[in-house]
């Protein structure tokens, strides 16, 4: 049974309401309340409070397999630059990654499935807080997501600018890179800029270290071991004629293989530890571990491929294309439970703005495609 136009129109209204009231990670109080209220109105069993603002709603229809469908709810600390009627009313906060659309599509799928019940088994609808670098997925797992709501598999999607509207990209194995952040402190000896021989210059040491770190992907790893090392912040020095005693570097590295991830971390640590011998400064590093590689389980990825191909046609489904070097905390759920993560294209007649862009807005034309895909996946897997 096709999803009714009236439900799609309602989902668009929900999406725009979420867009107008964006909330940062672990602060999704109003979003969580509204999501729980809607799910209860559909007749689902609603459980709130996992990871603070997370919501899990259960739809049962007899014995059978149990699967989970996940959407993220949080916004970003970005000031929106658009003129839409539903523009963010929270200064400096906006839905720049489409989580408003993800939530609306999953809500509409829940409403449709609760009405039609063309499946046998159980679906857990998981609305996750704090995806944006705050580890909401990990926290939900740690607080018992899969022990309280056992699942045979869990699935998630993300809207993807740069892909045609409604098309799907899915693969077996790595879909998104790991993410780790670090802060390196180089401590030397301050002196007058006219007499550098009397000090130990952490600025020159920082320049050498930055270039050395860039050789890790190009010279220490195979070209097949995709890795990106980025220094994103440099701070040090106050006076124009004084060499400082300290420079701080901050950055990230990303990999598509968790074993390579450990090797890269070890290499960075060895480069920092060698600074007294290389540059006559002391080096220390602090780590801020992020997300592991988002790794699809082969069987579950193949199921998504089959459902999407049956729904859209083979030409509209990309299989085993290039992974993204961006990261996604759904990886933490995939480490704890079989499942798959896929992208769904959002470009209509005009290209969508990039994710995390102040001018981005979720394309409402994607909503019926996302709802149809979620519905088809449930009806196929729980046939």
Q: Which of 289, 312, 334 is the last residue of a domain?
A: 289
Burial class (CB in 10 A: 0-12, 13-18, 19+), 297: middle
pLDDT score, position 67: 99
- Asked whether residue 95 is marked as a ligand-binding residue, the answer is no
Task: Tell me, yes or no, whether 141 and 16 share the same domain.
Answer: yes
Give the domain CATH number at 269.
Answer: 3.30.70.360
Percent of the chain whose pLDDT exceeds 70: 100
CA atoms within 13 A on the CB side of 37: 7
In sequence order, which residues have a C-beta less than 8 Å from that of residue 110 and are 6 or more positions away? 39, 42, 44, 57, 59, 123, 125
Name the least confident of 23-27, 146-150, 266-270, 287-291. 287-291
Give residue 252's domain range: 180-289
pLDDT score, position 1: 66
- Token couple for 346: 């959002």
- Asked whether residue 132 is marked as a ligand-binding residue, the answer is yes
Task: Tell me, yes or no, whether 13 and 80 share the same domain.
Answer: yes
Task: Tell me, yes or no, whether 122 and 230 share the same domain.
Answer: no
Give the domain CATH number at 136.
Answer: 3.40.630.10
Other Cβ atoms within 10 Å of 247 Cβ, number: 24
pLDDT score, position 342: 99
CA–CA gap between residue 300 and residue 143 (Å, rounded): 24
Task: Tell me, yes or no, whether 137 and 274 share the same domain.
Answer: no
Percent of the chain whose pLDDT exceeds 90: 97
Task: Tell me, yes or no, whether 83 and 206 share the same domain.
Answer: no
pLDDT score, position 348: 85
CA distances from 125 to 40, 273, 353 (A): 12, 47, 28
Q: Which of 262, 289, 316 is the last residue of a domain?
A: 289
Could you give the number of structural domains in the chain? 2
* pLDDT band, very low/low/confident/very high, at 361 (cuts 50, 70, 90): very high
Convert the pLDDT of each residue in 64-76 to its tens digit.
999 999 999 999 9
Task: Tell me, yes or no, whether 318 and 236 share the same domain.
Answer: no
- Asked whether residue 47 is marked as a ligand-binding residue, the answer is no
Closest CA to 364 of 15, 131, 89, 18: 15
Closest CA to 38 of 77, 76, 71: 71
Task: Tell me, yes or no, whether 134 and 247 share the same domain.
Answer: no
- Asked whether residue 356 is marked as a ligand-binding residue, the answer is yes
Task: Tell me, yes or no, whether 107 and 85 share the same domain.
Answer: yes
Task: Tell me, yes or no, whether 163 and 302 share the same domain.
Answer: yes
Convert the pLDDT of each residue in 113-127 to its tens digit.
999 999 999 999 999
Task: Tell me, yes or no, whether 211 and 322 share the same domain.
Answer: no
Q: How far apart are the first and last CA of the chain?
A: 14
* pLDDT band, very low/low/confident/very high, at 350 (cuts 50, 70, 90): confident
* pLDDT band, very low/low/confident/very high, at 349 (cuts 50, 70, 90): confident
pLDDT score, position 131: 96
- Asked whether residue 158 is marked as a ligand-binding residue, the answer is yes
Convert the pLDDT of each residue in 79-130 to its tens digit.
999 999 999 999 999 999 999 999 999 999 999 999 999 999 999 999 999 9
Convert the pLDDT of each residue in 295-318 to its tens digit.
999 999 999 999 999 999 999 999
CA–CA gap between residue 315 and residue 335 (Å, rounded): 30
Mean pLDDT of 30-49: 98
Task: Tell me, yes or no, whether 321 and 372 share the same domain.
Answer: yes
Convert the pLDDT of each residue in 168-224 to its tens digit.
999 999 999 999 999 999 999 999 999 999 999 999 999 999 999 999 999 999 999
The whole-model pTM stands at 0.93
Q: Which of 239, 262, 289 is the last residue of a domain?
A: 289
CA–CA gap between residue 325 and residue 338 (Å, rounded): 22
Task: Tell me, yes or no, whether 205 and 120 share the same domain.
Answer: no
Find the angle CA(323)-CA(328)-CA(334) to the nearest 5 degrees: 90
């Amino acid at each position: 049974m096709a999803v009714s136009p009236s439900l799609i129109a309602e989902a668009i209204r929900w999406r725009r309401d979420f867009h107008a009231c964006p909330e940062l990670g672990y602060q999704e109080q109003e979003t969580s309340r509204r999501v729980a209220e809607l799910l209860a109105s559909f007749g689902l069993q609603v459980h709130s409070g996992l990871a603070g603002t997370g919501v899990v709603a259960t739809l049962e229809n007899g014995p059978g397999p149990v699967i989970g469908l996940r959407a993220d709810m949080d916004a970003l600390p970005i000031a929106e630059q658009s003129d839409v009627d539903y523009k963010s009313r929270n200064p400096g906060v906006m839905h720049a990654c489409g989580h408003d659309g993800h939530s609306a599509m999953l809500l509409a799928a829940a409403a449709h499935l609760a009405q039609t019940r063309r499946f046998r088994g159980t679906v857990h609808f998981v609305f996750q807080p704090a995806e944006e670098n705050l580890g909401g997925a990990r926290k939900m797992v740690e607080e018992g997501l899969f022990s309280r709501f056992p699942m045979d598999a869990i699935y998630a999607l993300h809207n993807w600018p740069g892909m045609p509207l409604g098309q799907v990209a899915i693969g077996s194995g790595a879909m998104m890179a790991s993410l780790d952040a670090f802060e390196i402190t180089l401590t030397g000896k301050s002196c007058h800029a006219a007499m550098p021989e009397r000090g130990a210059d952490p600025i020159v040491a920082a320049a050498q270290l930055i270039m050395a770190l860039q050789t890790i992907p190009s010279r220490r790893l195979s070209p097949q071991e995709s890795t990106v090392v980025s220094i994103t912040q440099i701070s040090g020095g106050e006076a124009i004629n004084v060499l400082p005693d300290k420079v701080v570097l901050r950055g990230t590295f990303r990999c598509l293989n968790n074993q390579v991830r450990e090797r890269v971390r070890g290499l960075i640590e060895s480069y920092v530890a060698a600074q007294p011998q290389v540059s006559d400064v002391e080096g220390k590093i602090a780590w801020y571990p992020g997300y592991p590689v988002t790794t699809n389980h082969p069987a579950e990825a193949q199921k998504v491929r089959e459902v999407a191909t049956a729904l859209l046609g083979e030409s509209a489904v990309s299989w085993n294309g290039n992974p993204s070097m961006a990261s996604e905390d759904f990886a933490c759920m995939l480490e704890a439970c079989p499942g798959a993560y896929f992208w769904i294209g959002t470009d209509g007649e005009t290209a969508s703005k990039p994710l995390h862009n102040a001018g981005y807005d979720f394309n409402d034309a994607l909503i019926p495609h996302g709802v149809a895909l979620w519905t088809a996946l449930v009806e196929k897997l729980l046939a």
